[in-house]
């Protein structure tokens, strides 16, 4: 059975107790400040802050590795192309290929920023139950219809994954392997069947919810009370984000 990512950590760590609205604003501010960084000497500080936050979240490195592998493919492609195509200062030659300094530094900057931002995104979404995140967004002005759609989508995307697994098992028991171009037609039938089943299930769920009063009023999504520690943590995150922006654009402005 597939479980939501919010169950990846315990509820006892410091970041999981951070009130969702303050956590959302604070981590997003840090994420955007990291994205603006252009100076290489700021990267060790970015890594240090990211490691502290990720450690406090009590997420395992194995969990990070399992999530970074797929987007890491695109980063790997960039790392293989950019050092040989950008810049003019030659570092080394490998036959017809020329390794250049500017491209290598750009890859270093992009890679570190990407890894750190991805870690903060995991802390935000894997370390906060969706119900709390949606409640935070709802209290900050998100329309109730969108909030309800987020909750229902999160609930039934896992059900769709379970249906897909069951369909794959059933097709495998009937001899389907899906390793050639001839398998495209059966795969199209499988996808079509899943879409039809999902549509029919959504109709049944909607009818059942309507009989129970859904649509008369918005779903009640509560938020946690705000503590002094929540405000202090938000202030610290905003100060760090502002510090990066000030260092980047005022002391070392872009040419």
Determine the pLDDT at residue 1: 37
User: Mean pLDDT across the stretch 148-155?
Assistant: 80
Determine the pLDDT at residue 4: 44
| DSSP symbol at 60 | -
Determine the pLDDT at residue 218: 60
Determine the pLDDT at residue 220: 60
- pLDDT, one tens digit per residue, over 178-192 is 666 677 777 788 888
User: Mean pLDDT across the stretch 19-43?
Assistant: 90
pLDDT > 70 fraction of the chain, expressed in percent and rounded = 86
Cβ-proximal residues to 103 (8 Å cutoff; 6+ apart), any chain: 82, 83, 84, 85, 86, 87
| Mean pLDDT, rounded, of the chain | 81
The DSSP line for 186-243 is HHHHHHHHHHHHHHHHHHHHHHHHHHTTTTSS------PPP-HHHHHHHHHHHHHHHH
> What is the domain partition of the chain in residue ranges?
5-136+223-251, 141-211
What pTM value is reported for the model? 0.76
- pLDDT, one tens digit per residue, over 82-91 is 887 776 777 7
Determine the pLDDT at residue 33: 93
pLDDT > 90 fraction of the chain, expressed in percent and rounded = 19
User: Mean pLDDT across the stretch 57-66?
Assistant: 88
**Among candidate residues 183, 68, 85, 195, the one with its CA nearest the CA of residue 120:** 68
* Confidence grade of residue 222 (pLDDT, cut at 50, 70, 90): low
Determine the pLDDT at residue 219: 60
More confident residue, 46 or 80: 46
């Amino acid at each position: 059975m597939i479980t939501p990512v919010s169950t990846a950590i315990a509820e006892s760590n410091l970041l999981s107790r951070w009130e969702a609205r303050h956590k959302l604003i604070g981590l997003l501010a840090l994420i955007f400040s990291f994205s603006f960084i252009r100076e290489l000497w700021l990267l060790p500080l970015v890594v240090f802050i990211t490691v502290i936050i990720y450690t406090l979240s009590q997420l395992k490195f194995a969990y990070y590795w399992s999530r970074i592998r797929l987007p890491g493919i695109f980063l790997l492609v960039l790392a293989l192309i950019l050092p040989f195509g950008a810049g003019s200062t030659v570092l080394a030659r490998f036959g017809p290929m020329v390794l250049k300094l500017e491209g290598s530094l750009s890859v270093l900057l992009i890679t570190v920023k990407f890894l750190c931002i991805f870690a903060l995104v995991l802390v935000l979404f894997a370390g906060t139950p969706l119900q709390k995140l949606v409640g935070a967004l709802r209290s900050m002005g998100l329309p109730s219809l969108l909030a309800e759609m987020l909750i229902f989508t999160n609930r039934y995307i896992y059900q769709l994954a379970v249906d897909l697994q069951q369909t794959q098992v059933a097709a495998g028991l009937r001899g389907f392997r899906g390793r050639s171009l001839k398998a495209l037609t059966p795969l199209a039938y499988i996808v079509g069947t899943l879409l039809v089943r999902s549509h029919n299930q959504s109709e049944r769920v909607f009818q059942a919810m309507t009989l129970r009063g859904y649509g008369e009023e918005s779903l009640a999504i509560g938020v946690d009370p705000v503590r002094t520690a929540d405000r202090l943590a938000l202030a610290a995150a905003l100060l760090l984000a502002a510090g990066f922006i000030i260092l980047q654009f005022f002391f070392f402005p872009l040419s």
